[in-house]
Structure formats: structure tokens, C-alpha cells
Structure 1
Amino acid sequence: MDSLEKKKNIYERKRLLDQVVKYFFFFLALVCASFVIFIAVFITYKGIYPFFHNYSLVEGNYIHQDIGKFFTNTRWLYDGTGGMFFLLLTTLYTTLLSLVISVPTSIFTALLLVRIVPKFLKSILQSAVDLLASIPSVIYGLFGTGVICPIVASLGVDTYGGRSILSGVIVLAMMSIPTMTTLSMNAMEAVDQKLIQSSIALGASNAQTNFKIVIGTATSGIFAGIILGIGRALGEATAVQMVIGNNSLGTSFYNVFAPGNTLTSAMLAGIGEAAGIGYDTRFSLGLVLILVILAVSSLLSAIKERINPNYKKEDSFFYKIKSLFRKKEVTSDGK
């Protein structure tokens, strides 16, 4: 009996410990979720505040952020008449061009490290990639200012001392490559070796195996790396602001040699001296940026699900939301 009672006490203590750990981690999850919700609510409130609050620049003269001009004005200003549309176009344009550089570079670098180079060299190069991922953005900005901008200025094209959209694109590509490369490597290393050996046994060359089996099987993980790289590029402020030229007039956003301005660089420029409407409108740009990142991430996640060989329509996020609304309609009809 004593032995049975002792085992029962040990079991009860373990069960109690499991419960404590369970609720502790549940509390941590609630705290993290609360931070996300608080930030979202705060940015939303501060983002719409300038459209309804009257600011006094001169005694007796009140202004607020004009909603129509916020979406249509070609120049970004901090006096309530600024427009964010061309800032948004420049942000998407620079991000897209940076992907043209970073995506193939990341995939081929990951393939090189996983499948081609010797193990001793792989460890050295992988450490270099990890080091690049940990470098602060301001260092990339300094490198862009001291190296990339002079190179762009020496191309013989009229630029603002090399500070241009092209410089911003190159810096963003450099910053995105380490993240994409690391996740692509993880995806390629997870490919079943039996698939690779079977491909070679059936007569496929190493190149055919690498491109069709390794990259093809790791597509989902590679796409996850691309999503994180796009998030890094869309949200980068310091490095871009140092090299892009910060032109408040956005009509020349398509010219890579012209200075430009993105949502993040416009938010960062002169923020230390900003006050009143000039300070609050930066939150409006932040709200636009959050919505853009959410939209782009949702779109890319949907595409990622589609290209998954094990994709089922019932597993998609949008299908689950649609099913939820259908259930509510059925419930309301039943009542």
C-alpha cells in the first residue's frame, strides 16, 4: 500500500507540474497576443487621428489631414496636404526590383551550399550568411552610402550623387538575401535523400536532380523564405532612407536613377524634429504600411498553399473563413 500511495503522490506532483507549466505558457502566449493586439489598435487609432483632429499651425488657423489629397496628391508633405499614393508605388516598385536580384541569388546560393561545395567550405560560407543576417540595417545603409551610391553615380547617368531608387533596390536585395538563403537551405536539406538517389539512379544528371528534385521539392520552404524577405524589404527604413534620396515628389518613381521616397523613409525623415500634424501623419503612413504587408503576406501565403503538392482546398485560410460564414448563415436560417 505504501508503494502504491507513493506512486500516486509522484503522479499527482507530475500532473500538478504539467498544469503549472501549461498555464504558464498559456499566460506567455496571451501576453504576446496582447502586445500584437495593442500595437494594431494603437497604430490604427493614431493612423486615423490626423484625419479628424484639427491642428493649429498659426493662431486662429486650423488644419487636418485631407483624406482626398492623402490618396491623390503626387507630393508628400507634412502640412495636411501630403499624398501617400506615390510613396506606396515607390515602396512596391523598389521591393519588386530587389526581389529580381535577391530571389535567384538566394536560391542558387542555398543550392550551392547544400549540394555542391565541400562540407568544410559549407560551414565557412554558412557562417558568413548567418553573419550577414545579423548585421544592423544602419551598417547596410553606411555601406550603401559609401560604396553603392558612388558606383551608381559613376555610371554616367544623371543621379542625385548616386542616391537613387537603384541604390535602394541594391541595399534591400543585400539585406533580404541572408534570410531567404537560410530558409532555402533548411528546405533543401529537408529533401528526402531517397528522392535524390532515385533521380540519379534513373539517369538524371546532377543538374537535373538539383533543379527538378531538390528545388522542386523544397518550393514551399523557399517560398516561406521569400515571404520573410519581402517583409524585411517592405519594412526597412534606416538603410533605405540613407541611400534613396528622399524625393518628396513621387511622379518619377519608375526611373531607377531618380531619387525616390518610400513609406518607411518618409516616416523616418526628420522624425526627431516633428510635432503636431507632421508627427501624427507618420502613423497614417504606418497604418498604410501594415495593411500593405498584411495584404502581400496573405496573397503570398495563399500562393504558397496552392503550390504545395499536398494542397487541399479545405485547408486554405480563405476556405475556412468562407465555411465559417456559411455556418453562421445556416444557424441564422434555422432560428
Structure 2
Amino acid sequence: MQYLFHKKRTYFPILSLSVLFLLLLSGCGRQQEYTQSGFYFDTVISLSVYDKDADHAKEVLDGALQLCETYDDLLNESKEDSDVYRINHAQGDYTSVSSETVSLLYTALQYCAVSDGHLDITIAPVKALWSFDPDSGNSYVPASSTIEQALTHVDYHMVEIDGNKVRLSDPDAGIDLGFIAKGYIADQLKAYLLSQHIESGIINLGGNVLTIGQKPDGSAFTVGIQEPFAKQGKSITTVSAADSKGDTFASVVTTGIYERYFELNGEIYHHILDAKTGYPIRNNLSSVTILTDSSVQADALSTTCMILGLDDARELISSLNGEAQAIFITSDGEIIDTRN
């Protein structure tokens, strides 16, 4: 999930998700399930809540979709009035942005440092050279010289923050918050829904799954993990997800090289780029699923671990002392679950 606003476009009800719902959402007592869907962040999203009052549920879901629109306007780099767009087009000048944007940038920069710059929020100039939609007819491997030139504008140290003002010291650099923004937005949506007295539900932002509470019957939700390169909807395994229920976590986020890619001369070129080389990462991982209670952490960690590779990623997860767990799917189909 390299970027929130650059996931492969799909249309409801067929969801192009890294994490596939296998939600056993049967009613319990007087509570009923209410769902609204929309198209934000270049992907289909789905919000489901349980409530006893249909009018209240509709009002709450309408408010949640409005919040999605607000964050799309704030963080979508292709929208001219968004904070990210204005930073990227300020020609190196400081730009005043929201406190939320600043907070998200600080968090993103921490993960850039963890990956030693292989993950970099200033990857935009390189990313612009690639197209990973095989249906577009525009997928090709950019010339090495073109990639090398673009890489001269990639360095997360060029992001300078002064209070609520942000600038890029290189006017030709560009910020891409794709590996973290949907996770942040999911967390904000959950906070909003909890403030509206929703005690059970599911937030699904194009594969970033975040649960609210448990199912009305007290059991955990069940989320399927897509089998890499298999037919959409085929799960390789499932996980339980719920708030504060035993050893389960609320957030399930998967990053995989099968999400957006094209093949050329028998080689796969996918959308997860190494900011040091400008090319898709090459290691023995097909996907990483992160289980934790914070969606922003899960979102960032899933891409970070994909870029680090299996050994370094396992070491990173181990260093978190149980705060997060991971399910790695290797290129030969082996499932490695850090919970075991």
C-alpha cells in the first residue's frame, strides 16, 4: 500500500483489497448492521456499524464519510488545495499546513529513519516515472538515467518543519504519504465513531481494516488475508480482530507486491519502490500483514517491513515487545507468523 491515493482503482462491490473481509456480521439482539460505502483516496471504502437506531446509524455514517472527504481534501497530493500538494508546489518556500499534517509528517519521517532511507516520503519524483496499472497500456520500465536523475531529488532530510510550516529544501522534491495516510485516517474515523457512541463496527479503507469493539455477540471479527497472486478473494489464512479481546488486535493491514504490478519479459515490476534504487524492491517477501491496535502504525510498519525484507523485518517486530505482530508470506508461499 504504497500510497493512500494511488491504490489500484476498483469499483464497488468488487474490492481490490490486500485484506479481504470474511466478516461474520450476523445480528445480535436488537442491534443491526448498517453500512455505507464510498470512493475516496482512489479506492472503495466501506464503513459498517452496529446500532439499535437506524436514524442514528445513518447520521453517524454520513458524518464519517464527510470526514473521509475532509482528509482526502487535506492529504491528497493531486488536489490543488491539499496540504501535500501545496508543499510539493511551493518551490522550496515554507507552506502553512494543519497541525494534523505536521504530526503525520513527523511520524512518517520516523519510519524513513527506521528503514535507513529505503522508505522515503520524498519518493514522489521517482514514483511519477512508473505506472503499475497493466490495463492502462502505459506500463514500462523507465530508463535508468531518468531514474538516477529523479533520485537526486529524493531524501527525506529535505523535509523541513518549523511549527506549522513545512518546506522542501529541494524545489523539485515531492512528498508522498502513501504508506501511512490511510492508517492515520482510519484511526481518526474510529475516534469519531466512538465519540458517537458506536461500540461495534468495521472501518475498511481499501484494505486497511480497523475494528471497533467486537461483534455484538462478543466474538472477534474474522479477516481473511489474500493469497498473493491468487484469484481475488482467495485467502491464504485468516486472523481474528477485535478491541482488547485476548491476544487479538484491532487493526489488520497488509502490503503486498501483487496489489499493483505489471510483467515484462517474465519479470514482475510492482509498486513498492526502494527509495535508494528507484526500482521495485527485490527480496523474498510477497506480502506483510501487521496486527496492532493502531492503524497508522500498522500501515507504516507493513510497508517498512516489506522494504526491509524478512530478517530485518522480524527483528523490527521483535523490538516492539508485542505491541505489534506480523504475518509474512514469502515468495514460495510460506506463512511466517510472529505470534507463534
TM-score, normalising length: structure 1: 0.30
- Which protein shows a greater Rg? 1
Select the structure that is richer in strand.
2
TM-score normalised by length of structure 2: 0.30
Structure with a larger share of its residues in helix = 1
